[in-house]
Structure 1
Amino acid sequence: MTTSLPPRPPAVPLSAAPERTKTRLLELLKRHGTLTAQDIALKLEVSIPATRRHLSDLCDGGLIESRTERPSGRGRPQHVYALTENGEGVFPKTYSALCMDILRHIEALHGEGSIIKVFEARNAELAERLHQELPAHLPLEVRLELLTRRLSEIGFDAVIESDGHHLYIIQRNCPSLMVAQKYKSLCHAELQLYTLVLGQAVHREKTIACGQGVCRYRIG
């Protein structure tokens, strides 16, 4: 009588293991804050050269950064790694849900008009900051480039496009989608902000909050 062997499990693609290791590496930095390459290699149970390759890839991708720190504030400086803002963005956040709760309570306590006042106050603060970064003496194209760069840094994935007649701000992501879907005044406040900062007429043609693929703003 012969005994059949259990089927061999399917092979894991060679590229899967490195990606899984990178994910574990990011999770370690999220949990511990900063770690040396040696600490990471020990915790991941991989060689230091392999760890350094993963660290190099993640640094190139903008997910982690290296810096020099003194252990416990004293001793010899050591090279450590930490998550960047983009690296933090890999992990789930509940900011939108928290924002929704806060706005709902403000609305319940002070009425619907209070939400508009909140967005207007936020607009005024952002406009003051952006006016300093985008002075009016700069050409419009330069100010648009700086503005879209700033928008991308806070999660809008913004680019400039032209159809030969007009310039457009295209936002390919809405970092506050849940809030924008509930409170349409957020999109209106965004439109007012761009008009104020650019000193130009700005027309909204598409919005992600209304189910369209992008937010599209025509300048002029």
Structure 2
Amino acid sequence: MSISLNEAEAWCAADIDVYGDFTNPLLRAGKDFYLYAIESASGASILVSPRSTYPTGYTEATSRKIGGFHCLCTDVGVISGHPLSGYVAGDILPASVWDLKHRPVCAPEGMVYVAGINRWVDIYLASVSGGKLVSVNGGAIADGASATAFHWYKFSQWLGAIGKRMPTQHDFVAASRPPRPWPWAPRIARSPRRPTTWRPCARRPRR
């Protein structure tokens, strides 16, 4: 089965009415989406939704979440040898795709799978939302200068509460092997604020 995110048929129509027309790639940029198996009068089909519970107009009884993915937050551009060369904002980040058998033990939002270390890692530097650490596009980086001040031990405590951990030196070095660090990540201009945190890992991938 092939689904085009640029076609209205891929999306729950009621979601589009509420959250916007996600056939426009720019509205998908930097967001997580979910795949649902649903059954209607015309038979079984797959719908894409921005909702993590069930698509608008459906219930847990009439839909089943079977996977999801994250969309690129920016254009990659043309980079020789880069696996994402030519990808643009709103395209699916391939390493972020998860399903019921291939996913982290924690919530999969804002994460990618790095095969070289057999780990899921956060795409974005950690920020705080709803009293917990999250990996979201545009979040305020949780560091020593943030409203909720963090240090190593506090990070470990907060990450452990959501099924994640800090990467070991081996994880970090192995995931940063040439030709480019974090080969799933686009080339983005350096932030004016130097990051002071690492991207956390999930404790163990679910296979």
Query: Normalising to structure 2: TM-score of the pair?
Result: 0.25
Task: Choose 1 or 2 for highest CA Rg.
Answer: 1
Q: Which has the higher contact order (CA 8 A, sep 6+)?
A: 2
More helix by share: 1
